[in-house]
Amino acid sequence: MALLRMIPRWATGEMSQPKAHGAEIILWRRYFDMLEQENEDRIEMIIESFAEDEEESKRLKENARMGREYLNEHYRNQRNGSTDSQYPTVARESPFARQQQERQQLQQQRRNEEQERQRIHSPNLDIPIVGVGGSGETSYVTRAQ
């Protein structure tokens, strides 16, 4: 008896078939189309994320390669004692080294000023002449001011 209750009444002929049968089919089609579209969207999203991950990994590999290249060039130059490099480097000087360099520049500037003063105030007008008269000695001729 319980089995008979499970069979719909319209199948036994007691009731007529439901009238909205075509509408149900349309709704189910829409439902399955929506599921299919969602699945396609998910697949596209997954493919795009893989493509983005691939591009990111290429960028990371390129950055790592350039970093290794930079370090190799830097250590190669340090080992060879050369400061020429195609990559810019930042000089890291201690304050003591900077002060020493400034002192050396100041001393050089003072020497240059002193030499210039000597040239202006007491010029050397002697002109060296080597080997006058076959003796091989150096003699000087003073030119007039």
The radius of gyration of the chain from alpha carbons, rounded to an integer in Å, stands at 48
Distances (CA, A) of 19 to 2, 27, 49, 56: 27, 14, 47, 57
User: How many C-beta atoms surround the C-beta of residue 115 within 10 A?
Assistant: 10
Average pLDDT over residues 109-131: 82
pLDDT band at 55 (very low <50, low <70, confident <90, very high): confident
Reported as a single tens digit per residue, the pLDDT across 62-74 is 888 898 888 888 8
Average pLDDT over residues 1-11: 58
Average pLDDT over residues 81-108: 73
pLDDT band at 56 (very low <50, low <70, confident <90, very high): confident
pLDDT at 84: 54
Is residue 131 within 8 A of residue 137, CB to CB? The reply is yes
